[in-house]
Structure 1
Amino acid sequence: MRTQVAIVGGGPAGLLLSHLLHLQGIDSVVLERRSQEHVQQRVRAGVLEQGTVDLLREVGVGERMLREGDRHEGVHVQFDEERLHIPFTELTGRAITVYGQQEVVKDLNERRRADGGQVLFEVDDVAVHDVTSDNPSVTFTHDGVAQVLHADFVAGCDGFHGVCRDTIPPDVRRVYERVYPFGWLGILAEVAPSTDELIYANNERGFALHSMRSATISRFYLQCAPDEPLDNWPDQRIWDELGTRLAAPGWKLQEGPIIERSVTAMRSFVAEPLRHGRLFLAGDSAHIVPPTGAKGLNLAVADVDRLAEALADHYRTGSDAGLDEYSAKCLERVWRVQHFSWWMTSMTHRFEGPDHDFDRRLQRSQFDYLRSSTAAATTLAENYVGMPLR
């Protein structure tokens, strides 16, 4: 097999990159180890920055998102029972859209299929070779047949547990990591949202977040131990804890059947550089952010948007300037987002230890500053809605 760009990973990053390249007349093949059904059913991030929304609309895969997505022009930040509204659109002129990552994947898969794109699901034994040569390749097994895919470039969009990042030699790659001492218990419930905007709540008992997926499905998160057994959280305990941590005067939490629950560890991770020879990393294969800032999917979109433009420039003009600066430019955004996600996490979560009371007073001060300062509120809003893609 031969293509111009071999893309390892058929999640949102890989599929969007393939679509963007197609619009530039560049061939690609996407290799995904999971089934199409699995990829389209994974419940992941649901907050899309303004830049992500604009890009998906501009490249022809945003019709259903605009029709079914839930546009939000602000967010609620809460300390104990005091709730503060941060008006995104008023402060920045931009907004966010709540639309599940799995829905983005469905839209991209349908578009790639309609355009005749090559997306191979359920591939095994993927390995990347010769990325520092002019003829890199990817070997894999599909339908029991061993194959070799030759390409001009390889894009590693295969997530944190993929194979592409480890292709970069340890003496070339540097890793930065922070593991937080807590996790998130994520809950999906068949109940209408009890709020007009997302609520980030800092309570003495720990962090809570009220989000939503649709007019009838709500998404909740509770700070918990990173290795918390799910058996410790029967339905009524979940609702009682959410009711306590999200409590505010005159507000009531609606309860309903819980249809999904899981525990996610909290971590920050960056692998530098994002390029080695003709291999380019994008999305979770290169970086992980705590979900507090809702940036994971949006960072992946920014990566592949920049990579697609750099590859298009290479094929169109012969210039490699965009490819040469890809890693450095992406990392500028990655570290800005890492800082914002750390800041949001530090402001909203309970930290145990001898400094707990001191930390809590700092969090209280930050909340008061957001309430009293338009500049402080604008900083939060500007980072949350996202910087322009370019």
Structure 2
Amino acid sequence: MKTKVAIIGAGPSGLLLGQLLAKQGIDNVIIERVSGDYILGRIRAGVLEQGMVDLLREAGVGERMDREGQVHTGVELAFNNKRVKIELEKLTGGSTVMVYGQTEVTRDLMDARSAAGLTTYYESSNVELHDVKTDTPYVTFEHGGERYRLDCDYIAGCDGFHGVSRPTIPASSRKEYERVYPFGWLGVLSDTPPVNDELIYCKTDRGFAMTSMRSATRSRYYLQVPLTDKVEDWSDEAFWTELKNRLPNDVAEKLVTGPSIEKSIAPLRSFVCEPMQYGHLFLVGDAAHIVPPTGAKGLNLAASDVATLYKVLTQVYKEGDKDCISQYSDICLRRVWNGERFSWWMTNMLHDFTGENDLETETHAKFMESELNFYTDNEAGRRVIAMQYVGLPYEDLV
């Protein structure tokens, strides 16, 4: 088999890239380790920056998002018995975010790819990338009991943190930066009306909490928990009780509880791999970087990677300009590090790092309390938060 672009991974970044390339007449094949149903069963983020919203529309998959997604003009920070609204639209001159679940984004992209008759190999195994430093890379994999070879011009590694793409780059040619946080997020999805019409980030002495939503009838809530906790340690009743204890009193009084339909604990880490390009292999999204979810940047950074790679490959095939390939990593990493810094900053400000008789972490908590007060007590500080939250503009090729 032969194609122009081999895409490893059928998550939202791989599917979005494939859809955008197909719109330009650039052939692509997606190879995915798991089934489509498994991918749709993963509960992920749901806050989309304007740049990603526009990119989904450009890909031709924005109709349901525009119909069912919820435009949010602000978010709230709750701490020290007060609630501070960050007026995103007002403070940024018109920018907003869209609340539309990653699962729904993925479903729309899958449906569009299927309708267009584009090739995807789900449930593939033993995927290997070959000769990525040459002009003739190829991918081998097994599917349905048969061994395949896919020759291509370029490979997009959209296969996540544990995928095969990043390890294909020799360790001597990449540098990895990482910080692992000493807690996780316990998330619960429930068919209950959201407690508030905008997201609330809550900082308390009991730990961080967050209220979010997927629709007018489906809510998503989070609690900071120790890494030693397990999902089975938390009954629904225990979760709702602790959530109420961490919410402002007026919010807790409005909370509607009910059976959880999904419950999971996610560890938090900051991770970046440099560079994001090696020969004819490009790393995209979680294959190259992970952010703690506090800043709502994970899916959005993946989308900005896709936007950059889409521009690069379009220029390669439409204009014959291969020199632009060298711009990919630098452009992506500028935005990645900004998103990493914002997510790290939000995580540090809003979470409880203190330990018993630990003066260093208690001092850190005092610094972060001052930081939070400083940035929320004046419009200039709130504008900084708003600008970062709605996302920086996508960067064009030189």
Where does structure 1 lack aligned partners over 5 or more consecutive residues?
Answer: none
Give me the whole-angstrom Cα distance separating, in 2, the residues matched to 1:234 and 1:247: 22
Aligned partner of 2:82 in structure 1 is 82
Structure 2 match to 1:354: 359
Residues 81 and 246 in structure 1, CA contact (< 8 A), matched pair in contact too: no
Aligned to 2:141: 140
User: Post-superposition shift, 1:268?
Assistant: 0.7
Q: Secondary structure at the match of 1:97?
A: strand
- Do 1:82 and 1:248's aligned partners in 2 also have CA atoms closer than 8 Å? no
Q: Aligned with 1:203: secondary structure?
A: coil
Q: Does the aligned pair in 1 maintain the 2:7–2:14 contact within 8 Å?
A: yes
Partner of 2:117: 116
Aligned equivalent of 1:285, options 278, 281, 287: 287
CA distance in 1, matches of 2:100, 2:339: 20
Cα distance in 1 between the residues matched to 2:249 and 2:70:
24
Would the aligned equivalents of 1:75 and 1:85 in 2 still touch at CA under 8 Å?
yes
1:355 is paired with a residue whose SS is: helix
Aligned counterpart, 1:167: 168
Distance 1:133 1:227 in 2: 45
Does structure 2 conserve the Cα–Cα contact (< 8 Å) formed by 1:80 and 1:245? Answer: no
Of residues 15-24 and 347-356 in structure 1, the stretch that sits farther from structure 2 once superposed is: 347-356
Instruction: Show the counterpart of 1:27.
Output: 27
Q: 1:372 aligned to 346, 358, 377, which one?
A: 377
User: Any idea what SS the aligned residue of 1:171 has?
Assistant: helix
The alpha-carbon deviation at position 251 of structure 1 amounts to 5.3
In the TM superposition, residue 343 of structure 1 has moved relative to its aligned partner by 0.4
CA RMSD of the aligned region, Å? 1.2
Shift of 1:372: 2.2
2:315 paired residue number: 313
| Rounded Cα–Cα distance in structure 2 between residues aligned with 1:75 and 1:378 | 12
1:328 to 325, 330, 333: 330
TM-score, normalised by the number of residues in structure 2: 0.96
Q: CA deviation at 1:101?
A: 0.6
Runs of 4+ in 1 over 6 A off after TM superposition: none
Instruction: State the Cα distance separating 1:367 from its structure 2 match.
Output: 2.9
Amino acid at match of 1:344: M
Give 1:214 deviation, angstroms.
1.1
- The 2-side partners of 1:372 and 1:351 are apart by 23
Distance 2:35 2:206 in 1: 40
- The answer as to whether partners of 2:86 and 2:386 remain within 8 angstroms in 1 is yes
Alignment of 1:1-390 (within 5 A): 1-92=1-92, 93-249=94-250, 252=253, 253-352=255-354, 353-390=358-395
Give the match's secondary structure for 1:132. Answer: coil
**Cα distance in structure 2, aligned partners of 1:266 and 1:354:** 23
Give the TM-score, by structure 1 length.
0.97
The 1:165/1:250 distance shift into structure 2, 3 A limit, reads closer
Describe the shift of the 1:176–1:99 C-alpha distance in structure 2 as closer, same or farther (beyond 3 A): same
Kindly provide the CA deviation profile for residues 41-66 of structure 1, in whole angstroms up to 9, marking residues without a partner as x: 21111110111111112331111001
Residue type of the partner of 1:387? L
SS in 2 for 1:206: coil
Alignment partner of 2:185: what SS?
strand
CA shift for structure 1 position 250: 6.6
Paired residue secondary structure (1:77): strand
Report if the CA contact (8 A) 1:226-1:266 is conserved: no
Note the residue ranges of structure 2 that are not aligned, 5 or more in a row. none
Q: What is the identity, as a one-letter code, of the residue corresponding to 1:16? A: L
Deviation for aligned residue 1:255: 1.3
Cα separation, 1, equivalents of 2:126 and 2:362: 51
Q: Size of the alignment, in residue pairs?
A: 390
For residues 153 and 16 of structure 2, the distance between their equivalents in structure 1, rounded to whole angstroms, comes to 19
- Summarize deviations over 1:328-354 as a string: whole Å, max 9, x none: 110001100000000000110001232
**Mean alpha-carbon deviation: is it higher for 253-262 or for 372-381?**
253-262
